């Protein structure tokens, strides 16, 4: 700028009657005004460029929205033209699939239940066989113990008493054969709260009754008849220590002693 003013000053100094300083001052003022105007134009231009950029960004966003709108519109038209794509049909398809899965699972459940049922049947059959064998062996063994029944009546009595026998699980978790009163005359002290009796005790009691005499073998003796045994008196402290046949006699002849020993067993 200073160089330019110097050159103008030299060129205008030769013009007669011209006030060079005034001209230069006015030129400088004009130049500064143009400079300010240029800065304003540049600033305005930058603002316009910024707005142009914002507009381009906005147009790009609008284009994305336009594309999405177009896609959604096309999908809506497709759903209108193809009813199978409606929400109701989707629900129907889901229900069909659900029903199919339920049928499949039900088949699996039925198959499992069949297997369980077959196993239960086998276990029940095995239990019945075990219980039946246990009843048969218990009754047969008891009828043969002590004074046995006659062979001619053995099969008949086994079948008869079996009808009154059943296997139960006792308090120790073990199987035990119990019987109901086959003749209706068994003493109450033999019975539990359900009216059942241990098979061994009931059959031993039955052998002591008049009903059993016709079925029992004659006791074997030495020909001289039964003789009392001499020796010291046995004193029992519990009923379980008393032989079963002696318990029956004790209950009939000395019920107070019988109850005392019975209570001792429970303590």
Contacts of 219 (CB under 8 A, 6+ apart): 147
Backbone angles phi, psi at 147, to 5 degrees: -85, 110
Query: pLDDT-derived band of residue 2, with 50, 70 and 90 as boundaries?
Result: low
Asked if 267 and 242 count as a contact pair (C-beta separation under 8 A), the reply is no
What number of H helices and E strands is found in the chain? 8, 3
pLDDT in tens, 89-108: 667 877 877 887 888 788 88
Which value, to the nearest 10 degrees, does the dihedral of the CA atoms of residues 80, 85, 91, 93 take? 140
Rounded CA separation 205/246 (Å): 10
- Kindly list the distances between the CA atom of residue 221 and the CA atoms of 45, 53, 146, in Å, as whole numbers in the listed order: 145, 134, 14
Q: 225: left (phi > 0), else alpha (psi -120 to 50), else beta?
A: left
User: Is the model's pLDDT at 233 over the cut of 50?
Assistant: no
Lowest mean pLDDT among 31-40, 90-99, 236-245: 236-245
CA 21, 26, 27 angle in degrees (round to 5)? Answer: 95
Asked if 206 and 228 count as a contact pair (C-beta separation under 8 A), the reply is no
How many other CB atoms sit within 10 Å of the CB of residue 182?
17
Query: pLDDT-derived band of residue 15, with 50, 70 and 90 as boundaries?
Result: low
Among 160, 161, 172, 173, which residue's Cα sits nearest to residue 197? 161
Rounded CA separation 234/13 (Å): 169
Query: pLDDT-derived band of residue 20, with 50, 70 and 90 as boundaries?
Result: low
Asked if 261 and 237 count as a contact pair (C-beta separation under 8 A), the reply is yes
Q: What local confidence, expressed as pLDDT, does residue 232 receive?
A: 42
pLDDT in tens, 44-60: 878 888 887 787 777 77
CA 203, 209, 210 angle in degrees (round to 5)? Answer: 140
* Mean pLDDT across the chain: 79
Query: pLDDT-derived band of residue 180, with 50, 70 and 90 as boundaries?
Result: very high
Among 260, 212, 208, which residue's Cα sits nearest to residue 238? 260
Q: What local confidence, expressed as pLDDT, does residue 231 receive?
A: 42
Q: What local confidence, expressed as pLDDT, does residue 39 receive?
A: 85
């Amino acid at each position: 700028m200073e160089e330019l003013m110097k050159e103008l000053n030299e060129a205008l100094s030769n013009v007669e009657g011209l006030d060079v300083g005034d001209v230069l001052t006015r030129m400088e003022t004009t130049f500064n005004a143009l400079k300010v105007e240029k800065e304003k134009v540049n600033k305005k231009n930058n603002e316009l460029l910024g707005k142009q950029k914002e507009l381009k960004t906005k147009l790009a966003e609008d284009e994305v929205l336009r594309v999405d709108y177009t896609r959604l519109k096309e999908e809506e038209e497709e759903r209108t033209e193809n009813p199978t794509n409606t929400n109701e049909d989707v629900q129907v398809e889901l229900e069909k699939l659900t029903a199919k899965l339920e049928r499949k699972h039900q088949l699996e459940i039925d198959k499992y239940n069949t297997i369980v049922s077959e196993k239960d049947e086998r276990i029940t059959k095995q239990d019945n066989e075990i219980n039946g064998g246990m009843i048969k062996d218990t009754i047969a063994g008891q009828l043969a113990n002590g004074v046995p029944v006659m062979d001619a009546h053995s099969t008949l009595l086994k079948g008869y008493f079996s009808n009154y026998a059943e296997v139960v699980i006792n308090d120790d978790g073990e199987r035990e054969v119990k019987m109901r009163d086959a003749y209706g005359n068994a003493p109450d002290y033999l019975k539990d709260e359900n009216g059942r009796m241990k098979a061994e005790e009931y059959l031993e009691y039955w052998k002591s009754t008049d009903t059993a005499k016709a079925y029992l073998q004659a006791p074997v003796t030495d020909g001289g008849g039964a003789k009392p045994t001499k020796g010291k008196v046995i004193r029992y402290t519990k009923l379980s220590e008393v032989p079963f046949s002696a318990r029956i006699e004790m209950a009939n002849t000395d019920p107070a002693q019988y109850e005392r020993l019975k209570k001792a067993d429970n303590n």
